[in-house]
Amino acid sequence: MDRYPIHRTIYDVTITSMAAGQLLVLDSTMQAAGVSYRTANPIVPTSTATGGQVVVEVDSIEVIPPIQSNGQPVFGPIDVWPVVDGQEFRHYTDFIVDAALLGWPLHARTYGGSHLARLLGTPWWRLCEQGLAGHPVANAPLKNTTIKYAQNFSLTVYSGSAWTAASGYGLRIIVKGWVYDAATVAFFAPGWQTAVSLQTEARALLNQPALAFTAPLAPAAITFDTWSQLSGGAQQGTPKVNPYVHYALNAQATTPGTRFVLSNETSVGGGSGHVATPYQDLGINGPTAQTALYLRHYGITSVPGARPTNLARFGWLVDGTEIPENLNGSFAGFAVTDNVNDYFVGDVGPYLGDDGTGTGYAGKYRPIPAPDQEFLLFYRDTAAPFIGDNGTAIPANGVCVQIQGALVEGVA
């Protein structure tokens, strides 16, 4: 590791064009047709492969949407997901790239300042440092949900439509994180804490159990060779803890006056064809799948082009109950509309000006928000987000919901 912990750029890649339906698999050197690697900056490494000399944790993936040759950005979903030590991670993190819906913007393009940008988790060395100082961090495996790799890291990109970017303004993806050598791993390892016992006020009120488990890798067993067995790594034992970043569009129009659950599974309150792909299915079936989701960030956006979408509410269906609950005859869920939305995510152009483009696109973003309330814990629960209209149907693909948290698999 550097003499001082340095937040490094792991790689910085620009994709200049894509065909409709193209799946672009980038290798660890980021060499692929239609891809330009930004080597002008000598600080940027030339490969994401470690060569067995270091191990890496990724805590930040920043995205700049492509600008087309006509000067307009690309509107429409492009999916980006990691491949970690040869294992596809789309089950855990599937980012949407869209000029209007981007929830993971470049820090410098974040409206209100870089402090609003979202990270995959607290760095491992920072949590361990507190433990070494005699202040062990509670629930560290749920906080350190960075992606960890020992050999190589790469990305896969899928575009549903064709686009060509103006010179130098393609889809740019910047991956940042921390690099460790064997001595650094050995130094920090004793400060790691494996025990998790997480409870929320809501669950305590309902007399539900805390999420409790012990992460498989004990401090004495953390070495350079076992790095990828930590939370966020591809070689974990059971239970597994990974970052969880996903989005969903309503693949069907809503039925007026009826909640629309963003899942195809009836077991969580959804229905057939509610979302287009398994990766957009935001339902959690904890009792059956032995999973738990610790949800830190969630937001909702009306999709430009489909406006007005008649959006009226947004919330979570947990064990059959709409959260926030229906009190005193009011609507269940959060009250949200196209232009009054405390949970807004994506480009701020339609609300704060269009920077002279005439399109409503500002190129400044609000990341997936962290609600000003207790984080949600779904454990031994069925849960999924829902949307509701104002009495007139929301058209198909009219709303985008984005979530981020920590997923635990294989928990009793």
Residue 261 placed within a domain: yes
d(CA 158, CA 148): 23
pLDDT tier at 43, thresholds 50, 70, 90 = very low
* Longest alpha-carbon distance in the chain: 62
Contacts 24+ apart (CB under 8 A), 26-34: 26/154, 26/155, 26/156, 26/157, 27/154, 28/152, 28/153, 28/154, 30/154
The number of beta carbons lying within 10 Å of the beta carbon of residue 228 is 21
Q: What is the pLDDT of residue 52?
A: 86
Per-residue pLDDT tens digits for 143-152? 999 999 999 9
Residues 377 and 261 in one domain: yes
Residue 232 placed within a domain: no
Stretch 332-360: mean pLDDT? 77
pLDDT tier at 331, thresholds 50, 70, 90 = confident
What average pLDDT does the chain have? 88
Residues 81 and 157 in one domain: yes
Q: What is the pLDDT of residue 118?
A: 76
pLDDT tier at 2, thresholds 50, 70, 90 = low
**How far from 292 is each of 96, 277, 407, CA to CA, in Å?**
23, 21, 6
Residues 250 and 169 in one domain: no
Q: What is the pLDDT of residue 334?
A: 92
Residues 250 and 380 in one domain: yes
Residue 47 has pLDDT above 80, yes or no: no
d(CA 272, CA 251): 10
Q: What is the pLDDT of residue 353?
A: 57
Residue 215 placed within a domain: no
The CA angle 86-87-93, to the nearest 5 degrees, is 130
Residue 200 placed within a domain: no
Q: What is the pLDDT of residue 18?
A: 87
Burial code of 362-386, b = ≥16 C-beta within 10 A, e = fewer? bbbbbbbbeeeeebbbbbbbbbbbb
Residue 47 placed within a domain: yes
Q: What is the pLDDT of residue 356?
A: 46
Residue 122 has pLDDT above 50, yes or no: yes
Q: What is the pLDDT of residue 41?
A: 42
pLDDT tier at 46, thresholds 50, 70, 90 = low
pLDDT tier at 338, thresholds 50, 70, 90 = confident
pLDDT tier at 29, thresholds 50, 70, 90 = low
Q: Which residue has the higher pLDDT, 25 or 353?
A: 25
**Domain range enclosing 23:** 8-121+146-181
- Residues 6+ positions from 175 with CB-CB distance below 8 Å: 9, 10, 11, 12, 48, 58, 60, 61, 62, 153, 155
d(CA 296, CA 56): 24
Per-residue pLDDT tens digits for 152-195? 998 999 999 888 887 667 888 999 999 999 999 999 999 999 99
Residues 276 and 151 in one domain: no
* Residue 310 in tokens: 């008649």
Residue 308 has pLDDT above 90, yes or no: no
d(CA 195, CA 242): 16
d(CA 167, CA 16): 8
Q: What is the pLDDT of residue 40?
A: 40
d(CA 303, CA 204): 37
* Residue 4 in tokens: 């001082």
**DSSP tally for the chain: helices H, then strands E:** 6, 26
Residues 108 and 253 in one domain: no
Per-residue pLDDT tens digits for 74-104? 888 899 999 999 999 999 999 999 988 999 9
Domain tally for the chain?
A: 2
Residues 28 and 176 in one domain: yes
Here the CATH number for the domain that contains residue 103 is: 2.60.120
- What phi-psi label fits residue 90: left (phi over 0), alpha (psi between -120 and 50 degrees) or beta? alpha
135, 161, 181: which is the final residue of a domain?
181
Residues 255 and 172 in one domain: no
CB distance 143 to 404 below 8 Å: no
Residues 170 and 280 in one domain: no
157, 181, 205: which is the final residue of a domain?
181
pLDDT tier at 354, thresholds 50, 70, 90 = low
The CA angle 309-313-319, to the nearest 5 degrees, is 130
Residue 308 placed within a domain: yes
Residues 280 and 364 in one domain: yes
Q: Which segment of 16-25, 167-176, 245-254 scores lowest on mean pLDDT?
A: 167-176
CB distance 295 to 405 below 8 Å: yes
- What phi-psi label fits residue 80: left (phi over 0), alpha (psi between -120 and 50 degrees) or beta? beta
Q: Which residue has the higher pLDDT, 385 or 18?
A: 385
Residues 34 and 156 in one domain: yes
| 133 burial via Cβ count (<10 Å: 0-12, 13-18, 19+) | exposed
CB distance 174 to 61 below 8 Å: yes
Residues 395 and 251 in one domain: yes
* Residue 20 in tokens: 């409709």
Q: Which amino acid is at 390?
A: N
The number of beta carbons lying within 10 Å of the beta carbon of residue 156 is 17
Residue 224 placed within a domain: no
pLDDT tier at 72, thresholds 50, 70, 90 = confident
State the residue for tokens 């930590």: 230
Q: Which strand (E) or helix (H) includes residue 295?
A: strand 291-302
Q: What is the pLDDT of residue 66?
A: 87
Residue 136 placed within a domain: no
